[in-house]
Chain A
Amino acid sequence: MTGANSRTRASAAALCERLDAAALLRDDGGTIRVPVLTRGRLVVPEGDAVLEIQEATIDRATMRPDGGRRRLVLPRVDAADLLYEDPGAVRARLAAVPFGALCDWLDAAAELLDTDGPLGSRIRALIAPASDLADSLLDAALRLNTTMMRALAVREVVDRELAIGGVPGSCLLEEWVEVDAPGWDGATGGLRAALAPPLGTIAPTPRIRAFPTLQIHVTAGNAPVVASASALRLLAARGGGVVKLPSGSILPGAALAVALHAAAEGQPAARAVLDALSLVYWKGGDTSLEERLFDPAVFDRVVVWGAPDAVERVSALAAGGIRTLTFNPRYGVSLIGREAFAADATLSATARLAAADVLIWNQRACIASLVHYVEGAPGADGAADRWAAALREALAAADDLAPAAPSATALGQIQRMRRGSLVGARWHWVGGPGREARAAVVVAPGPFDLSSHPLSRVVIVRGVPRLDEAVGLLHRGVSTAGIHPEARRLALRDAIAARGVSSIVPLGHAERAFAGMPHDGMRVLSDLVEWTVG
Chain B
Amino acid sequence: MAEAIEREIHELAGRLRAAANAWAAGDGSFDESDTARLRRRAISLCHRHYRAAIPAYRRLCLEAGVGDDEPLDVLAERCTVTDDLFKSYDAAWVGARDFVALSGWLQDLCAEPVPADASAAHDVDDWLDRLERGGLHVLYSSGTSGKLSFVPRGLGSWDAYRANGPSYLMHQVVRLGLDLSTMDGAVLGFRGGRMGIQRAGVELSRFLADVHYLYDRELRAETLRATLTTRSTAAAEAARARLGTGHDEAYRTFPATLRRATERGRAVWLFGAPHQVKMLCTVMQAIGSAPLGPGSVVTLGGGWKSFEDQRVDRAVLCELIHAALGVPPARVLEAYAMVELNTPLMRCPTGRYHVPPLLEPWLFDEALLPLEPGHDVTGTFGFMDPTATSYPAFLVTGDEVRLVREHCPCGLVSPAIVGEVRRAAGHEARGCGGILATVRA
Contacts and interface: CB of A to CB of B under 8 A. Distances in A.
A92 interface: no
Given A408-B367, A427-B63, A447 B84 contact: no
Interface string B42-75: 0000000000000010011001100000000000
Interface string A385-420: 000000000000000000000001101110111111
Contact of A447 (B64, B85, B92, B426): B92
B87 interface: yes
A274 B190 CA distance: 64
A412 B368 contact: yes
Interface size bucket, B side?
Answer: 20 to 34
Contact of B368 (A411, A445, A446, A447): A411
Interface in B330-371: 364-369
A447 B367 contact: no
A409 B84 contact: no
Contact of A423 (B78, B88, B90, B145): B88
Contacts of B87: 421
Nearest to A427: B63
Contacts of B83: 420
A415 B63 CA distance: 13
Nearest to A409: B366
Contacts of B108: 423-424
Contact of A409 (B60, B78, B367, B396): B367
Nearest to B85: A420
Contact of A412 (B84, B145, B367): B367
Contacts of A412: 364-368
Given A419-B80, A421-B87, A423-B88, A411 B367 contact: yes
A382 interface: no
A466 B89 CA distance: 23
Interface in B87-103: 87-92
B77 interface: yes
A521 interface: no
A422 B82 CA distance: 11
B81 A419 contact: yes
Contacts of B105: 424
B88 A416 contact: no
Contacts of B367: 408-409, 411-412, 415, 435
A423 B81 contact: yes
A433 interface: yes
A300 to B, nearest CB: 33
Given A408-B367, A423-B81, A424-B56, A433 B88 contact: no
B224 interface: no
A435 B90 contact: no
Contacts of B56: 423-424
B82 A435 contact: no
B85 A423 contact: yes
B365 A423 contact: no
Interface size bucket, A side?
Answer: 20 to 34
Nearest to A414: B368
Nearest to A444: B90
B81 A420 contact: yes
B273 interface: no
B369 A422 contact: no
A434 B88 contact: no
Contacts of A408: 365-367
Contacts of B396: 416, 419
B64 A446 contact: no
A423 B366 CA distance: 20
A416 B82 contact: yes
B128 interface: no
A447 B91 CA distance: 8
B413 to A, nearest CB: 31
Given A433-B63, A434-B64, A419 B366 contact: no
Interface in A442-461: 445-447, 449, 452
B188 interface: no
A421 B427 CA distance: 13
User: Which of A419, A435, A445, A447 has the most B CB atoms < 10 Å from its CB?
Assistant: A419
Given A412-B367, A447-B92, A434 B77 contact: yes
Contacts of A420: 81-85, 88
Contacts of A418: 60
Interface in A316-357: none
Contact of B82 (A419, A427, A445, A449): A419
Contacts of B364: 412
B368 A423 contact: no
B327 interface: no
Interface string B145-176: 10000000000000000000000000000000
Given A423-B56, A446-B92, A447-B90, A416 B63 contact: no
Given A434-B64, A445-B90, A446-B90, A421 B84 contact: yes
A434 B66 CA distance: 12
A433 B79 CA distance: 12
A423 B109 contact: yes
Interface string B396-425: 100000000000000000000000000000
B366 A416 contact: no
A452 to B, nearest CB: 8
A435 B60 contact: no
Contacts of B426: 413, 452
Contacts of B88: 420-424
B434 to A, nearest CB: 16
Interface string A207-224: 000000000000000000
A423 B64 contact: no
B127 to A, nearest CB: 18
A502 B85 CA distance: 34
A288 to B, nearest CB: 20
A416 B82 CA distance: 6
A409 B84 CA distance: 17
A63 to B, nearest CB: 14
Q: Which 3 A-B pairs have the closest CB atoms?
A: A420-B84, A420-B82, A446-B90
Interface of B: 56, 59-60, 63-64, 77-78, 80-85, 87-92, 105, 108-109, 145, 364-369, 396, 426
Given A408-B365, A435-B367, 8 more contacts: A412-B364, A416-B84, A416-B368, A419-B60, A421-B84, A434-B64, A446-B89, A447-B90
27 contacts: A409-B367, A412-B365, A415-B368, A416-B368, A416-B396, A417-B84, A419-B60, A419-B80, A420-B81, A420-B83, A420-B84, A420-B85, A421-B82, A421-B85, A421-B88, A423-B60, A423-B88, A423-B108, A423-B109, A424-B88, A433-B64, A434-B64, A435-B367, A435-B369, A445-B90, A446-B92, A452-B426
